[in-house]
Structure 1
């Protein structure tokens, strides 16, 4: 089996059904693309894969047609059955904005036919990508399609990508005011940039990083001092962490850890 990506819930169960792998992009597209990811599954019974999404837009080559997925601010759930595969292009946070011509917040919690951004040729590439099971070949096809369609560099997108990276690297950073101070911008500027480029608010990005950390601690199976973790992540108490986690994942962190 391949790797388990951060944010995938119930990773041990997930790994018995889903094979996940990734490839780094070539230098020509690395300004925009974080990596290519490939999911292959084989399950006789329906299975729901659940992911705590990241602040990224994805182009996904899938059946019946390729889609662009905006940031899912809730819990991403996909029902799998039988055999199948998809190839995804994970754009760097903020770096899909140059492809759209409009604020990325308009894509939040939505998926949109990829032809709206890349034209009808993307459907032909979709067939070619899904016509092979070789991940290197799939990534090469996707990159060859993207390379001549890359927009002009946007310095603001690069700046926002760096901001998002710094904010998500430290789950102990939990206040938007503190993030703005660290990044040397006003809170209002940070909010405007994230609506325009990321597709989620700075508050959501910080909150999601905390939930990623809470889930990762639970997945390690070492036993978690939830009160201590809540304090480390900036929650006022354990019950606050429990409410936040349960609202998104659907079960309390302690119950999730026992699953």
Structure 2
């Protein structure tokens, strides 16, 4: 597994957990998957005295392994709906898989709405997971962990999403979350009540909640990958009524103001910490 110096493929991943990257002691390793249901695999070692870490809304399900030698564990995390205090411990080795936006693995024995904004034990929620858990936490190499988990996941199904929700998700992502329910009604031909009900069934959240996640992730993406972000312009581009509204929403979702977050990203040279394999 060789390191690719270009960040072009890293930039293409729009579902970010930036505080995970910033909590890494050195590098945050990442590899894409050839399975459409999977966004990527990642691995990092936290700083010896880990600062408070936050998980931000990203619309994705993660399986995260704490590969601690004395007390290893693994949990399945649904997307938070606002910034949540992180669950990372200092000087621990972490390995995880992030599923693609809106994808829920069918082998996790938890309903979609019970997984959103919640977490469950991997061994409790996934039948027959003990062998792969033991192999992964005892495998020292990132490539080896990826191979083990990829083999375990290959052929496993994901929960089917209705065509209505798929179409609406596509439109929401195209508009970077700047779309209202009335527009979705016009573009899908379905009433708001039907859209709401189908979204809750398929994704465990409302179209509005999903749109807010996509809009927040779009803001994070722009701050991460642009040197000349004017927050007033960014607020306007993403459809916020005014800059104060954008600042409040960003703080709720990221647990930092855009200025504070931008300073953190630049101070630790965010993109240089990510190694794409």
> TM class by shorter-chain length?
0.7 to 0.9
Aligned pairs (5 A) from 1:32-71? 33-63=37-67, 64-71=72-79
Deviates more, 1:166-175 or 1:121-130: 166-175
Measured in 1, the distance between the counterparts of 2:178 and 2:109 equals: 31
**Partner residue of 2:95?**
86
Residues 9-49 of structure 1: per-residue CA shift (max 9 Å, x gap): 369845663413023144xxx4xx22341222142221344
Residues 72-96 of structure 1: per-residue CA shift (max 9 Å, x gap): 1122424341141212252551443
Aligned pairs (5 A) from 1:145-224? 145-147=152-154, 150-151=156-157, 156=161, 160-161=165-166, 163-171=168-176, 173-220=178-225, 222-224=227-229
- Retained in 2: the 8 A contact 1:108–1:199? yes
Deviation at 1:125, TM superposition (A): 0.9
Deviation at 1:156, TM superposition (A): 3.3
Residues 229-248 of structure 1: per-residue CA shift (max 9 Å, x gap): 22221111111111111222
Is the alpha carbon distance of 1:125 and 1:11 closer, same or farther for their aligned partners in structure 2, counting shifts above 3 Å? closer
| Matched residue SS, 1:106 | helix
- Decide which of 135, 141, 151 is 1:128's aligned counterpart: 135
**Partner residue of 2:255?**
250
Residues 179-227 of structure 1: per-residue CA shift (max 9 Å, x gap): 3433343322222222222122211111122222222333346343322
Measured in 2, the distance between the counterparts of 1:35 and 1:94 equals: 10
- Retained in 2: the 8 A contact 1:195–1:201? yes
Measured in 2, the distance between the counterparts of 1:66 and 1:11 equals: 16
TM-score, normalised via structure 1 length: 0.79
1:143 aligns with 2:147: no
Measured in 2, the distance between the counterparts of 1:15 and 1:43 equals: 6
Is the alpha carbon distance of 1:226 and 1:167 closer, same or farther for their aligned partners in structure 2, counting shifts above 3 Å? same
TM-score, normalised via structure 2 length: 0.75
Is the alpha carbon distance of 1:116 and 1:166 closer, same or farther for their aligned partners in structure 2, counting shifts above 3 Å? farther
Using CA pairs below 8 Å that are at least 6 residues apart, which structure has the higher relative contact order? 2
Q: Where does structure 1 lack aligned partners over 5 or more consecutive residues?
A: none
Measured in 1, the distance between the counterparts of 2:95 and 2:149 equals: 12
**Partner residue of 1:227?**
232
Aligned pairs (5 A) from 1:72-83? 72-76=80-84, 77-83=86-92
Deviates more, 1:12-21 or 1:84-93: 12-21
- Retained in 1: the 8 A contact 2:38–2:97? no
Deviation at 1:122, TM superposition (A): 0.7
Measured in 2, the distance between the counterparts of 1:10 and 1:142 equals: 24
1:240 aligns with 2:249: no
Is the alpha carbon distance of 1:118 and 1:40 closer, same or farther for their aligned partners in structure 2, counting shifts above 3 Å? same
- Retained in 2: the 8 A contact 1:221–1:257? no
Q: Count the aligned residue pairs.
A: 250
